[in-house]
Chain A
Amino acid sequence: MSSIAIGRASSPGRTTALSTRSAKLLIGLGCLAIAALIPGHLESNFQFTAALAVIWAIAILSLVVLTGYVGQISLCQATFVGVSAYTVSMLVVNYKVAFPLAALCGVAVSFVLGVIVGLPALRLRGILLAIVTVGVALVFDGYFFQDQNYAWWSGGLNGWTFPGVSVLGYQMDSFHNVLHTYWVLLGLFAILALLVVNLHDSGSGRRFRAIRDSEVAAATMGVNLTRYKLLAFGISAAIAGVGGAFVGPALGSVSASIFSLFYSLPFAAFAVLMGVRFVPAAALGGIFMAMVPAVLQHFFPGIRYDWFNLGLGLLLILQMIIAPDGVWGNLARDAGRMGHLVGMARPKPKPKVAA
């Protein structure tokens, strides 16, 4: 007769959370230093691409919270980026508001829009929610971002030409000081990434993940679904808005083309490809999304952008087959396994379970 082995003491072997955490922090800081140094040695158009890569990384990071933690689908992250970018541009160009203040306003507007988009998520999930967010993206893309009635905000069809900004004497623009823009963006990404990592293991993060795993259990265990779902959408949109605030300084102009549905879709695709539950995947996604086309252009000048999309499509299909947890998810797991083999990490205690 089968039995469950209870009380048979086995060493719990808890990995000390603190040491893992500081090790991870150290590795993160190392990567950050490398990322900060490399573009200084590159041509200026690659410096520009590097700044763009961080903006994309921040946009994908916003999906790590929303899709990775809370399990909600959004195909309008580029819209959140755009809403913030336009608000900042309008304030800086037309009203001469100081950039940091304008950026805060942009993030706040994105947050509010995020909460509003989150309302349908209280009732819908899965494909239906995805369709709603596609609707949001299309409405903003085709109407608010381009219609002349909203030219006071979006700058009309031509968008805004963004001047360089100076924060406490620190110049940021898309020409000679693009590296400055890049470093500020990189710093912000690092801070946001750290906050998102912190969130994962906190009380709030657990509530988010509980909603992802089983909504009914979360509700019956005391999680206010309304509050936390809306909060998730708001936070996600606000993170995207941080990226949006820097579109002007990094690109020198703000126009509708990069806020369309056809940028939201790659965000989602890269997030899933790289591992939507993992923060480092956002960095990988941003680098990949901005750098690969630029590098290809550089070495094969005649190449068409379509080839990049084609490659992405194939990669996605491949990934679903061989690495369903995303590139980072599977890398992390395989690295752990390799660690065991070479005796670097202590094997995780596997509880002995008699069926």
Chain B
Amino acid sequence: MSLLSVKDVVVRFGGITALDHVGFDLNRGEILGLIGPNGAGKTTLFNCISGVIEPNEGTIHFDGRPILDLKPHERAQVGIARTFQNLQLWPSMTVLENLKLPIDAMERRNIVIDALRLPLGVYQEKRATELARATLHALELLRYEDVLAGDLPVGIQRRVELARALCLRPKLLLLDEPAAGLDADETLHLADLLQRIRERFKVTVLLVDHDMSLVMRACDYIYVLDFGKLLANGKPEEVRNNPQVIAAYLGEAKEKLEVEDADKSDLPAAAFLPGPSSAPPPGEGKTLLEVSGISGGYGHLEVIRDVNLTVREGEVVACIGANGAGKTTTLRAISGIIRANRGKITFDGKDITKAPAQEIVRLGLLHVPQGRGLFAKLTVEDTLRLASYSGHRGGDLKPAYETFPVLEKRKRQMAGSLSGGEQQMLALARALLVKPKLLMVDEMSQGLAPTIVQRLFSYIEAFKAEGMAVLLVEQFVDAALSIADRAYVFEQGTIAHEESAAKLREDQTLIASSYLGRAAAEEEAGAASANGHRTTSDLMEEISLRLPAALMRALQEQAAKQGRKPEDLLLEFLQGQEVEA
């Protein structure tokens, strides 16, 4: 019988269904992967299993017994341990203390014995220390034992959190995005570590991650979630080749979108420019935004380093790349929400590196943040009026209503009661009224159905037609590339490629490497050249097992076109050379 059995779980937050009849089984000793794009409901499912939230419907059985009635700490005691996407170590406690807590949480402790330091308490304390140090040793963390957990870099904190979860001696280990914030090396190391942990600690693992290289490497079986529903399941190689999964990840939902094209009657005619942009080619207008060599992050965590990008007047530029690659942080640094540690940002000829956020808006650089940044309790009309005054339009809302007729129908409604798509339209309408020179939109498509996303993109084109420059951060890569002039591909906190959108659309390999991780491949190449014993074809075979099939196919096609061996092309690619189309 399976260790964990989730059946028909439904979770609703207000009107949004975060999980829609999700069910799966987890067998003993398995490493099961749960993947899916942003907002697919992965963390919500985790919270249901660990007891942080209660599902509206459905059952969860663990080890043959229902656990929905158990409180979080009782679930920990029956053998479910978890880690958190946003690290939840106890920062003011040392690493050792962090590990000792779950050890003695499994035992009874008496506060009187503790306060009096009676021998029993001292003995328990010693035992917990030894167990904790053994776990630290197993995870190669012993040297950090006396450091405050909050002072460690994220990579180490992730491992400490893993160690802490193992200290519960769990039967089931839930790992929520263990690779978030890790660099390629660390991710690689983590995949091996998980395999070792399974054998050594005899645990079953449920793993959620965006990082495909980790999931593909570490998992035995994979379930794919999308918009709160199970999209597919299978072995890693099956899932990797599943067109639906590729679509969900890379936004290749073209077929779906074609159908929707019939339904564009309520769009302004000017907003609809079919296919790639017909605006002036990139490289002409004057430079509007110039970012040179900025680094920055949160606290002592440096998320982006040495980012260089430019946006010219009337240009649509897309920033794409995997989660945690530093796209959002770059936008935040530009709009003054966080300060860059190094580097320089100029906008419209002025140095805005140190300018306060409101000053930057006044210069004509507007940032629509992830999650839209609307005031939930303000009506649509008031939201727009506010914007129109700051945009010197003197309360004239016409342009907004002309472009977004649906908003006029909803003008008395609270912004918070609109649907996700309408909220995004309101955010865009607000931007339209402020009339910035440069509009930065972060994850416009997040949590929205593909059809709505396509419509929103057509509005971006309308903005461009008005002469606005747009900097997009997007997960729907294909849609973003179809309207962008140029794109920057982010990889691990910096920009890996800058390319014209058209070229990126043709040559998916550049993007795939960012999304699907070329860490595995790089390591293999490095290892092979180091010992020098393996032949190229051996290497090729081994790498092809690990590389995403889509990437392999793209390489093979390129090779066929150029009449060369795919091996050579692959090697060039791995060495970081650009593959010539």
User: A210 near B101 (CB under 8 angstroms)?
Assistant: yes
B51 at the A/B interface (Cβ < 8 Å)? yes
Q: How far is A212 from B101 in the complex, measured between Cα atoms in Å? A: 13
Taking a contact as CB atoms under 8 Å apart, the answer to whether A202 and B115 are in contact is yes
Q: Cα distance A14–B117 when bound, in Å?
A: 21
A221 to B98, CA, bound (A): 10
Residues of chain A within 8 A (CB-CB) of B145 are 12, 14
By a CB distance below 8 angstroms, the chain A residues around B92 are 209, 212-213
Residue among A3, A207, A222, A235 facing the most chain B CB atoms (10 A cut-off):
A222
Tell me which residues across on chain B come within 8 A of A209, comparing CB atoms: 90, 92-93, 97
Fill in one digit per residue for B49-93: 1 if any A CB lies within 8 Å of its CB, else 0.
011100000000000000000011101110001101000111111
Interface presence of B164 (CB below 8 A): yes
- What residues of A have a CB within 8 angstroms of the CB of B82 in the complex? 220
C-alpha gap A207/B73 in the complex (Å)? 12
Which of the candidate stretches A130-138, A268-276, A279-287, A347-355 sits at the interface with the other chain?
A347-355
Q: A94 contacts the other chain (Cβ, under 8 Å)?
A: no
Smallest beta-carbon distance B83→chain A, Å: 9
Query: Does any Cβ of B come within 8 Å of A104's Cβ?
Result: no
- Answer yes or no: B237 CB below 8 A from chain A CBs: no
Among B51, B115, B144, B147, residue most surrounded by chain A Cβ atoms (within 10 Å): B115
Q: Known A202-B121, A222-B73; judge A210-B90 contact (CB<8 A).
A: yes
Known: A4-B186, A12-B145. A206 touches B117 (CB 8 A): no
For A207, give its contact among B52, B105, B125, B146 (CB under 8 Å). B105
- The majority secondary structure among interface residues of chain B is helix
Contact A221 B101 (CB under 8 A): yes
The residues in B between 95 and 111 inclusive whose CB is less than 8 angstroms from any CB of A are 97, 100-102, 104-107, 109-111
Given A2-B185, A202-B115, A353-B156, A221 contacting B164 (CB threshold 8 A): yes
Q: Given A203-B128, A351-B143, are A2 and B183 also a contact pair (CB < 8 Å)?
A: yes
B114 contacts A202, C-beta separation under 8 Å:
yes
Contact yes or no, B185 A221, CB < 8 A: no
Q: A198-B114, A223-B73, A223-B105 are known contacts. Are A203 and B140 too (CB-CB below 8 A)? A: no
Closest residue on chain B to residue A195 by CB atoms:
B115
Whether A1 lies near B102 (C-beta < 8 A) is no
Given the complex of chains A and B, what is the CA–CA distance between A221 and B132 in angstroms? 14
| Distance between B336 CB and nearest chain A CB, rounded to angstroms | 24
Interface centre among A202, A207, A209, A220 (most CB of B within 10 A): A220
- CB within 8 Å for A225 and B185 given contacts A209-B90, A210-B101: no
Question: Of all chain A residues, which has the CB nearest B305?
Answer: A355
Q: Is B184 part of the contact surface with A, judged by Cβ < 8 Å?
A: yes
**With known contacts A221-B105, A353-B156, A14–B146 Cβ distance under 8 A:** yes
The reply to whether A1 and B143 form a contact with Cβ atoms under 8 Å apart is: no
- Per the bound structure, the CA–CA distance linking A9 and B82 in Å amounts to 29
Beyond A220-B76, A223-B105, whether A206 also contacts B81 by CB under 8 A is no
Query: Chain A: which residue is nearest B183 at the CB level?
Result: A2
A266 sits at the interface (CB 8 A): no
- Distance of A306 Cα from B538 Cα, bound (Å): 85
Alpha-carbon distance A351/B143, docked complex (angstroms): 7
A206 contacts B93, C-beta separation under 8 Å: yes
With both chains docked as a complex, state the minimum distance between the C-beta of B147 and any C-beta of chain A, in angstroms: 6
Partner of A203, one of B93, B114, B183, B302: B114
Whole-angstrom CA separation of A353 from B143 in the bound complex: 11
Q: Which residues of B contact A19 (CB under 8 A)?
A: none
On whether the beta carbons of B90 and A217 are closer than 8 Å, the reply is yes
- Say yes or no: B101 contacts A353, CB within 8 Å: no
Most chain A C-beta atoms within 10 Å of own C-beta, residue among B102, B125, B144, B184: B102
Contact of A231 among B84, B111, B125 (CB under 8 A): B111
- Chain A residues within 8 Å of B, Cβ to Cβ: 1-4, 6-7, 9-10, 12, 14-15, 195-196, 198-199, 201-207, 209-210, 212-214, 216-225, 231, 235, 348-349, 351, 353, 355
Q: Lowest 3 A-B CB distances belong to which pairs?
A: A222-B105, A202-B114, A213-B90
Could you show 25 A-B contacts with beta carbons less than 8 Å apart?
A: A2-B183, A6-B189, A7-B140, A9-B143, A15-B146, A198-B114, A199-B115, A203-B101, A204-B111, A206-B97, A207-B105, A213-B90, A213-B91, A216-B52, A220-B52, A220-B72, A221-B105, A222-B102, A224-B73, A225-B73, A349-B146, A351-B144, A353-B152, A353-B156, A355-B302
